[in-house]
C-alpha cells in the first residue's frame, strides 16, 4: 500500500496514512516521509501505542538520534525518570510517583518555543508519542516560521535580518528555573548560545525566523528597551492564527515536527488527570 498524505492545517500539518510504525521504515518509505515532512513541517501518524524501542527504531529510520537536553547540558535535579526508560527517550509528563515527577513540564502551559534552541547544536526534529492523554486540555499547537518570516513587514525584516539572538538556558518553556542556574536579572548576561535570527533550512533552502522563545530572548547590540520593542513587534506578527495548527491528542499518536522551521506550544491541562508522552529527537546542524 502506498503512503497517503492528508493536509490538516492551513499552512502546516498533515496526517500520514499507510505507514506501519511497528516496523523499521525501508529507505523508500523513509524518503517519502522526509519529503512530506519538508512540505508539511509537522506529520501525524495514528496507531496503537509503541514501545520505546519501536519509537527509537522509527526515529533511526529517519536520521541520527539526539539525546534529551538534560543529557546534552548535563543538567542535574530533573525528574525521576524510570530506570527502564532508554536514555534517548525524554519523558514529558505531569505524573508523580512516590511524590516525584516522572517527566518534564508538569501540567501548566509550555509557552511557544523551539526544542533545545538553548544548546549550540539543537535537534533537527522532535518525535512525540502519546501514551496517556487527559480528557481535555494539553493540546499542542505548531507555528510555521517560514510563513512568519516570508510575510514579515519590510520594516521589521530589515531590523532582524543578519542579527543573532541569544537563547537563554535558564528557564524551561513551562517557566521553571533549571537546577544550578541563577535567576536572570539582565537578559544581556543570560547564559546560552547565539543563533541567527533568520536561519536557512539545510534541506529545503528556505529561510525561517528562529526565535527560540520570547522569555529572555535578546537581539545582539540592542539596548534592553530596543530589544523588547523589536521582539514584541516580531512576536505579534508571528502569533497570527493563520500560521498555527493545533493538535488534540489521542493515545497512540506520533507527531513529528521540524525544529528548524516550526515552533510549538502546549496548553495547560487539569493536573489531576494523567498525561504521559515519550519523545525522541533527530540530530541537527548548527543553525546558519
**CB 38 to ligand SIN: min, Å:** 20
Q: Select 137 or 156, whichever has its Cβ closest to ligand SIN.
A: 137
Q: Select 144 or 173, whichever has its Cβ closest to ligand SIN.
A: 173
E strand residue ranges, 67-202: 90-93, 96-97, 100-101, 104-105, 110-113, 125-132, 140-144, 164-166, 194-196, 198-200
**CB 139 to ligand SIN: min, Å:** 8
Binding site for ligand SIN (CB under 6 A): 92, 105, 110, 115, 126, 128, 140, 173, 264, 266, 277
**CB 269 to ligand SIN: min, Å:** 10
Task: Please calculate the CA angle 37-121-228 and round it to the nearest 5 degrees.
Answer: 90
- Most distant CA pair in the chain: distance in Å? 57
Q: Select 92 or 211, whichever has its Cβ closest to ligand SIN.
A: 92
CA quadruple 235, 239, 244, 247: dihedral positive or negative? positive
Q: Select 43 or 277, whichever has its Cβ closest to ligand SIN.
A: 277
In whole angstroms, what is the distance from residue 112 CA to residue 109 CA?
Answer: 9
In whole angstroms, what is the distance from residue 148 CA to residue 171 CA?
Answer: 25
What is the grid cell recorded at 225? 528597551
**CB 257 to ligand SIN: min, Å:** 9
**CB 104 to ligand SIN: min, Å:** 8
In what order do the strands lie in the sheet containing 218-219? 194-196, 164-166, 218-219
Q: Select 88 or 115, whichever has its Cβ closest to ligand SIN.
A: 115
Amino acid at each position: 500500500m502506498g503512503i497517503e498524505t492528508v493536509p490538516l492545517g492551513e499552512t502546516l500539518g498533515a496526517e500520514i496514512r499507510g505507514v506501519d510504525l511497528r516496523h523499521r521504515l525501508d529507505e523508500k518509505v523513509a524518503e517519502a516521509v522526509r519529503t512530506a515532512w519538508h512540505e508539511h513541517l509537522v506529520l501525524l501518524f495514528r496507531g496503537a501505542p509503541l514501545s520505546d524501542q519501536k519509537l527509537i527504531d522509527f526515529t533511526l529510520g529517519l536520521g541520527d538520534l539526539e539525546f534529551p537536553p538534560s543529557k546534552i547540558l548535563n543538567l542535574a535535579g530533573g525528574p525521576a525518570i524510570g530506570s527502564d526508560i532508554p536514555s534517548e527517550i525524554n519523558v514529558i509528563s505531569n505524573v508523580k510517583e512516590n511524590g516525584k515527577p516522572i517527566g518534564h513540564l508538569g501540567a501548566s502551559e509550555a509557552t511557544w518555543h523551539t526544542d533545545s534552541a538553548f544548546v549550540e547544536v539543537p535537534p533537527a526534529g522532535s518525535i512525540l508519542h502519546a501514551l496517556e492523554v487527559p480528557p481535555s486540555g494539553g493540546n499542542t499547537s505548531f507555528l510555521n516560521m517560514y510563513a512568519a518570516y516570508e510575510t514579515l513587514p519590510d520594516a521589521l525584516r530589515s531590523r532582524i535580518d543578519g542579527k543573532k539572538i541569544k537563547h537563554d538556558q535558564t528557564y524551561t518553556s513551562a517557566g521553571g528555573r533549571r537546577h544550578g542556574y541563577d535567576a536572570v536579572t539582565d537578559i544581556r548576561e543570560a547564559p546560552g548560545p547565539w543563533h541567527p535570527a533568520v536561519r536557512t533550512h539545510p534541506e529545503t533552502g528556505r529561510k525561517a525566523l528562529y526565535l527560540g522563545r520570547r522569555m529572555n530572548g535578546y537581539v545582539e547590540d540592542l539596548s534592553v528597551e530596543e530589544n523588547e520593542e523589536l521582539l514584541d513587534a516580531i512576536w505579534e506578527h508571528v502569533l497570527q492564527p493563520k500560521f498555527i495548527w493545533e493538535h488534540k491528542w489521542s493515545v497512540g499518536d506520533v507527531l513529528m515536527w521540524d525544529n528548524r522551521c516550526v515552533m510549538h506550544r502546549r496548553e495547560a491541562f487539569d493536573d489531576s488527570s494523567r498525561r504521559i508522552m515519550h519523545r525522541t529527537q533527530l540530530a541537527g546542524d548548527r543553525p546558519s
